[in-house]
Chains A and B, each alone.
Chain A
Amino acid sequence: MSDDECKACQEYSQISRRNFVGLSAGLVVGALAPGWLPRVVYAGSDSSSRDVIVSIFLRGGADSLSMVVPYAEDNYYQLRPTLAVPRPDGDDANRVSDLDGFFGFSPSMAPLREAYDDGSLLVVHACGSKDPTRSHFEAMRFMEAGQGSGAPTLETGWLGRHLQATASSSSEGVLRAVGIGAGLQRTLAGGPNTLPIADLDDFGLEGRAGTRKERRAALEELYAAWDDPLRTSADSTMRTVDLLRRIGFRGYKPKGGARYPENDFGYALKSAAALIKAEVGVEAIAIDLSGWDTHEFQGNLDGHMDYLMMTFAESLGAFHKDLFSDDMTDISVVVMSEFGRNVAENGSEGTDHGHGGMMLALGGGIAGGRVLTDWPGLADRDLYQGQDLEITIDYRDVLVEILERRVGNSNWRTVFPDSSYSPRTRGVTV
């Protein structure tokens, strides 16, 4: 690992989850499923034809202009003297890989090339949440809640409300959604039978084996008589313990030679793939990748951003390969970040908080293999507040179309109750 790459590790990593597992685990309940048994075993209860939604949030304000580079814009090269990624036609070893004659991938996004080329990955550029705030926390809150600052505060998230508004796709509906992490993402807040789970492979009741049954019975009874939110949380937890025990993530073998990187994000996507393939009725999964707040020395080619993009692209590339080579294409992955960054770099070879960014969508029903955009341009007069990429596609347009066409929920007003918003069909799905 080079010195520059390393800056990435610390920002990105909270301590690696994997290093902790096994310390206190050991006492996982009962018999595990014998090896990895795919669908056939569990398919019984689930007759869903809806896509599973995987919502990936790049936290910190991802510099979309470094991920999908508008290399045909001279302004981009003028405003980013040290950060710009060289044009695809040059002879730099590290240069943009052309997508459509105007945009191209940064070198470290290369692992997503296959998904783009087979038409399952769509880039939506100059896209985002139109709220003007430059605060990470406010921007994330608005985006995840699915509303702008003018609307009354919503505690629930867009995906949580979607689940509320639709019946479970499986007869059991034990676990409809999972937020990978120790605290639930706001995106999923309010979702029925929705739990944050830090590690899907380590979700069992511990303690002395001899008294586990009695202890469990006692907890079930006590929490059932308590108030929400603890009551519901405990109930979902118990049922999910049983559900996940049947799956046995440890023995999971990705298909098609997919190789997930050995880091938290790769592990999260690998677990998500296992969960989707088990077909136990999970309809939505939220996953975070943090560390995108690149105020200094962002290193698009050999530093922090390079590491982050690589982590992101390798993981999502593996996820695509794993599922698609197993013919599991009924998924819709959506990728977003709270805002993009200033078009001009700052004095620390980094970028400050901006406005417009991009989204990615990936799945069997996504009209991919192209960059969908109403490109506003990067000339001075085109910039938002004179400094940022303008937003010409509301991020909600992407989500509404996916919910409607891929998940069968056309009640977008419940999901995005902001009265000033009405969706436009952008051709995100096939």
Chain B
Amino acid sequence: MSGHSGESFAELPVAPKPPLRRFHQARWDEPIIFEQSRPGRRGIAVPAAGVPAVELPESVRRAEPPKLPEMAQLHVLRHYVRLSQENLGVDQAIAVGQGTCTMKYSPKVNDRFVNDPKVAELHPLQPDDTVQGVLEVYWRLERMLAEISGMNRVSLQPASGSAAIYANIAMIRAYHASRGEGRQRDQVITTMFSHPSNAACAKTAGYEVITLMPDENGHPDIEALRAAVGPRTAALMITNPEDTGIFNPRIEEFVSLVHEAGGLACYDQANANGLLGITRAADAGFDLCHFNLHKTFSTPHACGGPAAGACGVSEALAPFLPGPTVEFDGSGYRLDNGRPQSVGKMRPFLGVTPNVVRAYAWVMALGAEGLREVAETAVLNNNYLMHKILRIPGASAHWDGGRVEQVRYSWQGLFEETGVHSEEIGVRAADFGVHYWTSHHPYLVPEPFTLEPTESYSQEDLDEYAAILAHVADEARRDPEHVRGAPYNQTVHKIDQTSLDDPKQWSPSWRAYTRKHLA
């Protein structure tokens, strides 16, 4: 006789899984950390001074202790572990929904390298001979990125992709100034579907920005470029393929036109994942380019950084690189601060070292053949997913023709029919455990969504993602209010965001919240 008595209510074998995952995000209903505080508790002990105390003059002494939470260690840990569970990383989700971001697998072994004290406990101003290992990683990664881009030198200093765009702008500015044309060349040309940071960084650096709009085929209008270039042109800042996923086949002519006018051509390679080993910035004549190590080269996105950028430049631009550079004399590596024309510091020290180490290890795990396989698979995955998405009624891709590694799609048809916005589709899709992103500026494609599957996802993953979107689109037709009421399976329910734009109500900190709403 078994102890499992009672009436049977389910049978073996266990039934097959339903077509869509019955996902529910973790819901710990966690209070704000301040609400868990109890006076006198502590999360960690600090070494006592052990030497005579210093009396501070009143002018600099803190009057009131900061109202930080007081918690025991387990409870701090538990709070944050719960919050982490209420988050979706690449490690859990099919992260193909955040187009332009190149969400790929970040190999776990690479985290080990950066957590090693041989990286984590290095001070950036140690003598060069005590950091030969890390300098070699910098130098070797620079050489590898130079080969991948065809450029002469590469700086790994910028803290992100946009910071790399800004560093490139700074070099462009210094280059023209060195030739006495700094004042004259005050315009930067970009395209509508280049990443918006190109225009934004150029404006930050003081440039007037001229934008080329897409023509009927979705390509930037080359005749417009011809009309725009001239003695005031400092540079063309262009993404290719653009954020639409469309490769500009006349890119070499674009570069030539700018060169003929005395300007520089700068390639935003944020969308390089489909091009590794296929085509190179230098071969199209570019003077500068940049990569995002957290996109193409696998370093984790970390909820929005730390990231890392890499600026590649031609020989003519090399004197202007941010300093210091890493130099190799055949036997050892050293930091070189002796570049009089350098634009100087873009950020503290040499770069975001942990991500430089991860990117290096990633390339070393793949090699030339592996990188090409990354590119080809990313492009295959994208075209496969596009094939599936375009079969969903109400979904479309704006322009005809091929796509490289991502696609900006549109729900215009679905929206006109149902009034359900792309944003609402995304929130509902998250109920099935996936991310979804509409797009950033420019809002040219109506009701947009941007998918970029990268090489990391399996065919089954892509099928699942497409099935989720098809299901939600179908729901939007059958019961639009159900879609609009989402989310249902998330940590929290639908958020009323209206107070966030009202100065009397908004609460950008607990301090502001308690003052405005709990006083």
* A, B: real partners: no
Footprint of A on B, CB under 8 Å? Answer: none
**Residues of A in contact with B (beta carbons under 8 Å apart):** none
